[in-house]
Amino acid sequence: MDIRGILEAIKEGSLDIEEAERLLRLDYVQMIEGHTVFDHARQLRSGVPEVIFGLSKDPETVADIAERALERRGLVMISRADGRHHEAVLRRVGGEGLRYEHAARMVVIDRGGPVERRGKVGIITAGTSDLAVAEEARVMLDAMGVECLCFHDVGVAGMHRFLEPMRRLLEEDVDAIIVVAGMEGALPTLVASLAHIPVIGVPASTGYGVGGAGEAALHSMLQSCAPGLAVVNVDNGVGAASLAAIIARRR
């Protein structure tokens, strides 16, 4: 429920003043099983769905957080999730609205019904190895009600592959473009040099030897001489999608 939804619920009489105040408070937090301090108001402030970072978390801990989060919201997402996280959440909350997006490594629990569709964002990957990060961004954008146009494996090693996708995105008048690239990370600079809209570079942890964990691509994007390029951290598809969705919805 967003702020408008809270106000409408008060008007309809389905939400009392005390509960509405609790939802809107900036310090509305809850301790979950002694291991997590959960901020229930974050989505209200940012407009970004709740995303639980699953990597390095025990599956039962993730299930604890997901179960409590679902008490007050219709959409909960778990990033960097594997099959163990999916199974633990399924046992705890049941299968209603639950799906495991394997390519994106995300668990999505959607019990909030259809969302208003607003905005359009392009996603481009330099190589097939970058697909997992792009899928993470696509799943996040879809959950936020933003249409995605995706083109894969069109990096600078064969620049002729890139021209048609770029033309399509500009013709479709997308609100922002997410570009995922590993190796030397050159593709976002190329896209930003041709685009009149915000471009978000996502360095991917693909490559050989030095810089193969994404550092080379990150440094390259940060040193870009093309204006209009913002850069998120290595493999951060969730962060790129959140920023792109905020841009698209405001536009």
Same-domain pairing of 75 and 170: no
Residue 218: the pLDDT is 95
Contact between 131 and 125 (Cβ < 8 Å): yes
Q: Among residues 42, 76, 110, which one ends one of the domains?
A: 110
Cα–Cα distance list, 22 to 7, 25, 33, 76 (Å): 13, 5, 20, 20
Answer whether residue 71 shows pLDDT above 60: yes
Residue 137 counted as domain residue: yes
Same-domain pairing of 54 and 127: no
**SS3 state of residue 166:** helix
Residue 180: the pLDDT is 96
Dig out the tokens for 115 from the structure.
Answer: 């969302």
Report the alpha-carbon distance of residue 11 to residue 242 in Å, rounded. 30
Same-domain pairing of 36 and 89: yes
| pLDDT, tens digit, 9 for 90 and up, residues 26-56 | 555 555 565 555 565 566 666 678 888 989 8
Q: Where are the alpha helices (DSSP H) in 38-159?
A: 42-46, 59-69, 83-93, 131-143
Residue 38: the pLDDT is 57
Same-domain pairing of 156 and 82: no
Looking up residue 194, the CATH number of its domain turns out to be 3.40.50.1970
Same-domain pairing of 59 and 149: no
Same-domain pairing of 40 and 103: yes
Contact between 24 and 44 (Cβ < 8 Å): yes
Same-domain pairing of 127 and 243: yes
Q: Structural domain tally of the chain?
A: 2
Residue 116: the pLDDT is 80
Q: Among residues 110, 129, 160, which one ends one of the domains?
A: 110
Amino acid identity of 23? L
Residue 150 counted as domain residue: yes
**SS3 state of residue 12:** helix
Owning domain of residue 103: 30-110
Contact between 214 and 180 (Cβ < 8 Å): no
Answer whether residue 188 shows pLDDT above 90: yes
Residue 4 counted as domain residue: no
Same-domain pairing of 213 and 170: yes
Average pLDDT (187-205) is 94
